[in-house]
Chains A and B, each alone.
Chain A
Amino acid sequence: MRYLIMLKGDRPAAPPPPELMEAIMNLGAEASAAGALLDTAGLSPSAAGARVRLYGGQLSVTDGPFAEAKETISYALYQVRSKEEAVEWASRFLALHRDLWPDWQGEADVLKVMGPEDFG
């Protein structure tokens, strides 16, 4: 089964410490070597994006930034054997932030990607 993990948080003024980036790269390599990480990338601030909306039969396009307080910072797609495994990868990712960037706070949404096991 697959899970999409979306990291959300405040976008701080200062860039993340290099040690954190290094640790994130290592965790990514470890998760790939474990056959779990299928795809991942960081996301630019929503100011670089747009939102396409459909309400009341009307399509509209609004340029970013979005009004939400939190920005979506990155995504990762995992192949795992249980929800707990996906939660564990997300926890390891946030633990790196806890250990190496104490000022940062945020959250990771762990969302199940619909698969064959959801049908039939």
Chain B
Amino acid sequence: MTASDPRPVVEAVWRMESARIVAALARMVGDVGLAEELAQDTLVIALEQWPAQGIPQHPASWLMATAKHRAIDALRRQGRYRQKLDEVGRATPDAEEPDVAADLDDYVGDDLLRLIFTTCHPVLSTEARVALTLRLLGGLSTEEIARAYLASDAAVGQRITRAKRTLAERKVAIELPPPAEAAERLASVLEVIYLIFNEGYSATAGEDWIRPSLCEEALRLGRVLATLAPHEPEVHGLVALMELQASRIPARTGPDGAAILLQDQDRRRWDRLLIRRGTQALVRTKGTLGPYTLQASIAACHAAASRPEDTDWTRIAALYEVLAHVSPSPIVDLNRAVAVGNAHDPARGLAIVDGLDLPNYPLLPAVRGDLLAKLGRTAEARQEFQRAAAMTANARQRTLFEARAAACQ
């Protein structure tokens, strides 16, 4: 390694390790806010020492050991050191300091899992869960989160501070959820990760790079979670869904930044590695039928078709049918209508759409327009695309709908 500015190295290593460090410290001190402060102190120490003394032989271990010493100091200042020693069951009169660190050392995986369940705790608002998760598990700075969410630094900083205070005030224990709450709590974790993914997925070309990079961050968190909780099928379902959706990122915008619909994408540009990883993750769901797994199965059907006309719409329609039972929503029904229209008969798809109540949702008239066009009812189809264009706030979507309307002659 060169002797040049070690600052980027310190910051990269810290970012790679910060979640594990915060997680370990949170267990030691029982407070995520304090844990984060102590972790930040460690970064400052590294930034001071490494340039002067050189980068340690094992930078990650150095950071963890230094952070734990800070935590032990903090506990001692609070007079809680003895109590902590008792807790870890090594309370002999001449217990050595490192014993605490060693005893508290072994369960980094569980620590991370506890931390994710804490940052995604239901006492926090959804926005707070997202921000705190990105901060503590993603290692993103307040400024980065603000940029990613097109919010002000002050607003995001306040959201994070308030979230940490809420966790402390409500005395939320940093622990795995009790069995009775496990399903609901896991659902919250998965929701937070998928929200982060979708925020990145909705970013358009030309925007600040940090927004699309939220997809990568969500995928990373999902992969981490899949290692920590390998027996939860829906974790693999979510990972599969994100891998498969991310596989289309290279194909879903044109050179001018315009959105390209699934059926019009150049499928040679799909990321084969992500498709393979998504398909493998789907195998780990072992035939379960959770909402993420079902959505991933649908995405896998698209991924398996090298041409749009090869798409197995019958299977997709059947999967949407199941999804509509497992996780009913008008959006699911709208997608089911598309699948049924393609698999069986546009008229049947239209009948489903006509039963839906989705006010001001531009994709509803767009889907109607598509089904009507397939039935040869072009004048009605044009009207629907015009309605969709008038309804959407997204300029690129509007262009798309206007083009469809113009094509209905």
Residues of A within 8 A of B (CB): 1, 32-36, 38-39, 77, 79, 81-82, 84-85, 87-88, 91-92, 95, 116-117, 120
Given known A81-B213, A116-B212, contact A35–B9 (CB-CB < 8 A): no
B206: chain A residues within 8 A (beta carbon): 120
Residues of A within 8 A of B224 (CB): 33-35
Chain A residues with CB under 8 A of B221: 35
Which of chain B's residues have a CB closer than 8 A to the CB of A85?
Answer: 12, 15-16
Q: Could you jot down 13 A-B contacts, CB within 8 Å?
A: A35-B222, A38-B273, A39-B273, A79-B216, A81-B15, A81-B217, A87-B12, A88-B13, A95-B57, A95-B58, A116-B250, A120-B205, A120-B257
B16 cross-chain contacts in A, Cβ below 8 A: 34, 36, 85, 88
Closest 4 CB pairs of A and B: A84-B12, A35-B223, A35-B220, A33-B227
Q: Which residue of B lies closest to A98 (CB)?
A: B57
Q: A81-B213, A88-B12, A88-B16 are known contacts. Are A116 and B273 too (CB-CB below 8 A)?
A: no
Q: Which chain B residues border A77 with CB–CB below 8 Å?
A: 273
Proximity string of chain B (14-26) to chain A, C-beta cutoff 8 Å, 1 when within and 0 when not:
0110000000000
| Interface of B: prevailing SS | helix
- B220 to A36, Cβ gap below 8 A? yes
Say how far A81's CB is from chain B's closest CB, in angstroms. Answer: 7
Give complex CA distance A108, B13 in Å.
18
Number of chain B residues whose Cβ lies closer than 8 Å to a Cβ of chain A: 33
Is B249's CB under 8 angstroms from A116's CB? yes
Residues of B within 8 A of A34 (CB): 16, 220, 224
A70 and B102 alpha carbons, distance in the complex (Å): 42
Q: Give the A-binding residues of B (Cβ under 8 A).
A: 1, 8-9, 11-13, 15-16, 57-60, 109, 205-206, 209, 212-213, 216-217, 219-224, 227-228, 249-250, 257, 273, 277
How many whole Å from A100's CB to the nearest CB in chain B? 13
A118 to chain B, nearest CB (A): 11
Of the candidates A36, A39, A81, A117, the one having the most CB atoms from chain B within 10 angstroms of its own CB is A81
Chain A residue nearest in CB terms to B209 = A117
CA distance in complex: A116, B211 (Å): 12
A84 to B109, alpha carbons, bound, how many Å?
Answer: 24
Q: Do A38 and B227 contact each other (CB < 8 Å), given the known contacts A85-B15, A85-B16, A117-B209?
A: no
Interchain CB contact (< 8 A) of A81 among B109, B216, B228 = B216
A23 to chain B, nearest CB (A): 12
Residues of A within 8 A of B277 (CB): 38
Instruction: For the complex, give the distance between the alpha carbons of A81 and B213 in Å.
Output: 8
A51 to chain B, nearest CB (A): 25
Contacts of A92 in B (CB 8 A): 60
Task: Please tell me if the beta carbons of A35 and B15 are within 8 angstroms of each other in the complex.
Answer: no
Complex Cα distance, B58 from A36, in Å, reads 19
CB B145 to nearest CB in A, in angstroms, measures 14
Which chain B positions have C-beta within 8 A of A36?
A: 16, 220
- Tell me how far the C-beta of B190 lies from the nearest C-beta in chain A, rounded to whole angstroms: 15
Complex: A34 Cα to B206 Cα, angstroms: 29
Query: Nearest Cβ in chain B — how far from A120, in angstroms?
Result: 5
Cross-chain contact A88 with B205 (CB below 8 angstroms): no
With both chains docked as a complex, state the minimum distance between the C-beta of A47 and any C-beta of chain B, in angstroms.
28
